[in-house]
Amino acid sequence: MALSITLPTSGKVRNHWQSLYSILRELYGYDFNDYADASMTRRIVRYMELNKIRTSSELCDKLINKRMIIQDFVNDVTVNVTEMFRDPEFYISLQKNVIQSLNNLPYIRIWHPGCSSGEEVYSMAILLYENGMLENSMLYGTDINTEVLSKARKGIYPLRNMKEYTSNYIKTDAKYSFAEYYTASYDAAILRAFLKRRTVFSKHDLVTGVVPDEFNLIVCRNVLIYFNRDLQERVFKLFCDSLYLGGFLALGPRETLLLSDVNRRFELVDKKENIYKKIK
């Protein structure tokens, strides 16, 4: 379907969605103002095409008058793609550079902001378990999307995904069998209960700037790429405030702290995987 909206060229794109962003913020508490313009526009237009909505004002009317569509809208504009042991080299680096330092602590608190449906959190639980550290750890997964969070709490994933997750796991130089961590039931893989016991999943919006607590490790991968520079900077400050001194920030291969003001408070631990240690 051809949409009747004519999108302005970059720079003015944000103005185009101004009314939409106001409705989302004022009626529903979602603030997308400082998300990267290009990817937001792509996602919104895709939602409009799928739902045969022709103009941005028609979309605004729908969001005002049909409140139940908000969850669908949020599902479509937030990118929730994730995997277990995504980017296996990242886990090799965590094992080498982070896990051993955390092993000296009596209690370990780990935060995964933007955890989506939880696969990254459970991968971390497996890593901790294999190092004998799961029982004295607590893993907090947060996201703005409540639908993915309920999937995360269940820890049940499509069985067809296990082939890829097993292959990722093997690439982390794993010593065990990935099949030990789930039971298959029809077309579902149910993660073993001991992996879930040390996890808590709750709604948290990085835009609000609220520090949820203090942590020894924050893992935030494939989330900041959707934010503009201003918001990225605010979130880096939030991460810095949420880490204990000596704590680690792990951003993965796609995001860097190097251009941030808070960079001076961190020491680089792994350049490729963007892992940092808070030193002041």
Ligand X SMILES: C[S@@+](CC[C@H](N)C(=O)[O-])C[C@H]1O[C@@H](n2cnc3c(N)ncnc32)[C@H](O)[C@@H]1O
Contact residues: ligand X, CB under 6 A: 78-82, 86, 113-116, 120, 143-145, 148, 205-207, 221-223, 226
Residue nearest ligand X by beta-carbon distance: 114
Of 143 and 270, nearer to ligand X (C-beta) is: 143
- Do 239 and 218 contact (CB within 8 A), yes or no? yes
Per the listing, tokens 């003001």 go with 261
Residues whose CB falls within 8 Å of the CB of residue 22, separated by 6 or more in sequence, listed in order: none
User: Which of 114/247 has CB closer to ligand X?
Assistant: 114
CB of 255 to ligand X, least distance (A): 10
Question: Minimum distance from CB of 275 to ligand X (Å)?
Answer: 14
CA distance 156 to 273: 28
130 neighbors 160 (Cβ within 8 angstroms): no
- Least distance to ligand X, CB of residue 29, Å: 11
Q: How many residues does the chain have?
A: 280
| Closest of 221, 158, 160 to residue 191, by C-alpha | 158
- By beta-carbon proximity to ligand X, the closer residue of 61 and 72 is 72
**Least distance in Å: CB of 66 to ligand X?**
22
Nearest alpha-carbon partner for 115 in 86, 73, 89, 91: 86
Q: Closer CB to ligand X, residue 98 or residue 206?
A: 206
112 with 219: CB under 8 angstroms?
A: yes
Cβ atoms of 3 and 54 closer than 8 Å: yes
* Residue 88 Cβ vs ligand X, minimum distance, rounded to whole Å: 13
If the CB atoms of residues 38 and 245 are measured against ligand X, the closer one turns out to be: 38
Beta carbon nearer to ligand X, 116 or 137: 116
Beta carbon of residue 256, minimum distance to ligand X (angstroms, whole number) = 15
* β pairing state of 199-203 and 243-250: unpaired
